[in-house]
A = this chain, B = another copy of it.
């Protein structure tokens, strides 16, 4: 059942540095087909098109990626692509999207904010969860979706559940990525959920809260010209802050609905492996917990190697151990200087 009162705002910025060499400036990971059946962006947009209709799906992305988004999502009207001339973190991005909807006459509509690169299954559970969140949003809450933790993950932020509501709970606290010990305590307490980074609220509720907790940003956003491609000069003057820190951790209206679906934040090759990502023909001998992602059509053979990812593109081969997954950002920063044609 399509609900025309819902608008999806998909955040498709970011470089996906941690997926080098498969992701590059020209093609960040959200535009890659990591899993069969479409790119991460296409799968995300499809999920929302089922809920709100394609004409109610907005994508905020880098101006450089206008063409790739338009190609991947041909059903979206041009005016639904909000093109950032530069990234200014999530508060500005989401604020701009909300203000755009308000200007278009949808102040009382529901806005669902989601990342473009999360794996979510099954779609029925997703729709059921969104439906519940929409009810809370209609009541004037800023609703988040919390993922019941399956293990003491240290790579995600956590939400602490407070007072129970008829649906979901109030959020008592937002917690940054914890260390292992803290994560275990969170898990065992049963009071914590992973912060999925998805938000559901009425446009007007959100803009009021933005005005309360980030008045300067809110004013700047109100003064943005009426265009989907603001100039670098104007956009880069916006305050750069995360929505979590800028609004969600401060508002008293934060509530959480537990997810009735499986969720993976495919943040790096390690996460990709956990989500079942694999590409190309491979032979693994005495090798476990390893990922092969080959875009060149060649055979990849691993012998006697555990916990590694092997990624081959026409430009480069990367072989990286799980324990070094974080190093890839430094590598790309270095390549940016020494071999910009490869990143």
**A304 lies within 8 A of chain B by Cβ:** yes
State in angstroms the CA–CA spacing of A304 and B234 once bound together: 42
Known: A285-B331, A327-B285, A327-B286. A320 touches B305 (CB 8 A): yes
Instruction: Kindly provide the distance from the CB of A203 to the nearest chain B CB, expressed in whole angstroms.
Output: 44
Most chain B beta carbons < 10 A, residue from A298, A313, A328: A298
Instruction: Kindly provide the distance from the CB of A226 to the nearest chain B CB, expressed in whole angstroms.
Output: 45
Query: Is the beta-carbon distance between A321 and B305 smaller than 8 angstroms?
Result: yes
**A36 lies within 8 A of chain B by Cβ:** no
Query: Is the beta-carbon distance between A303 and B324 smaller than 8 angstroms?
Result: yes
State in angstroms the CA–CA spacing of A301 and B312 once bound together: 10
Instruction: Kindly provide the distance from the CB of A321 to the nearest chain B CB, expressed in whole angstroms.
Output: 4
- How many chain A residues touch B (Cβ–Cβ < 8 Å)? 33
A1-52 interface (Cβ within 8 A of B): 21
**A223 lies within 8 A of chain B by Cβ:** no
Stoichiometry, as copies per complex, reads 2
**A314 lies within 8 A of chain B by Cβ:** yes
Which residues of B sit under 8 angstroms from A111, Cβ to Cβ? none
Known: A304-B321, A304-B327. A299 touches B316 (CB 8 A): yes
Which residues of B sit under 8 angstroms from A294, Cβ to Cβ? 317
State in angstroms the CA–CA spacing of A342 and B289 once bound together: 25
Q: A301-B317, A302-B319, A304-B321 known; 19 other A-B pairs, CB under 8 Å? A: A283-B331, A285-B324, A294-B317, A298-B313, A298-B314, A298-B317, A299-B316, A299-B339, A299-B342, A300-B316, A300-B319, A303-B319, A303-B320, A303-B321, A303-B331, A304-B323, A304-B324, A305-B324, A310-B317
The chain A residues found within 8 Å of chain B, CB to CB, are: 21, 283, 285-286, 294, 298-305, 308, 310, 312-321, 323-324, 327-328, 330-331, 339, 342
- What are 24 A-B contacts defined by CB distance under 8 Å? A21-B299, A21-B301, A283-B331, A285-B327, A285-B331, A286-B324, A298-B313, A298-B314, A298-B317, A299-B339, A299-B342, A300-B319, A301-B320, A302-B319, A302-B320, A303-B319, A303-B324, A304-B321, A304-B323, A304-B327, A305-B321, A305-B324, A310-B317, A319-B319
